[in-house]
């Protein structure tokens, strides 16, 4: 289940303040719901996940949920607005993964890499 966003309105109504406090408290508890499930068919060499929270600057992880997934060698080959694609060195066979998104989607990752280059 995807979390419900607090509407952005210009007035500070009591219901708006309660919704905002509830959302902030959930985020501080780690209940951000930036996760999902993905399956890989036997001959697939990549998995594309479509989710509105995907965007440049986010970090993405695959978490293996079975032995075939655990043996897979993967990398994040594309992260665009609304989707991310993981590629496999060789098709891992039928398997299942969980995935997680981390970060604010800003350019902090790229800035840090640029500073070290």
Tens-digit pLDDT string for the chain (117 aa): 445 677 788 888 888 888 888 888 887 887 777 899 999 999 999 999 999 989 988 899 999 999 999 999 999 999 999 999 999 999 999 999 999 998 875 554 444 443 333
Spatial neighbors of 21 by CB under 8 A, at least 6 apart, are: none
Contact 53, 83 (CB under 8 A): no
29 — phi, psi (to 5°)?
-80, -10
Claim: this prediction has a pTM higher than 0.75: no
């Amino acid at each position: 289940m995807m979390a419900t966003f607090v509407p952005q309105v210009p007035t500070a109504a009591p219901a708006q303040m309660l919704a905002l406090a509830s959302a902030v408290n959930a985020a501080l508890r780690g209940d951000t719901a930036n996760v999902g499930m993905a399956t890989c068919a036997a001959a697939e060499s990549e998995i594309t996940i479509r989710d509105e929270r995907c965007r440049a600057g986010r970090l993405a992880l695959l978490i293996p949920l079975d032995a075939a997934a655990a043996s897979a060698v993967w990398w994040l080959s594309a992260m665009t607005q609304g989707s991310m694609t993981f590629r496999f060195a060789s098709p891992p066979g039928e398997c299942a993964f969980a995935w997680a998104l981390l970060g604010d989607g800003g350019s902090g990752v790229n800035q840090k890499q640029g500073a070290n280059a």
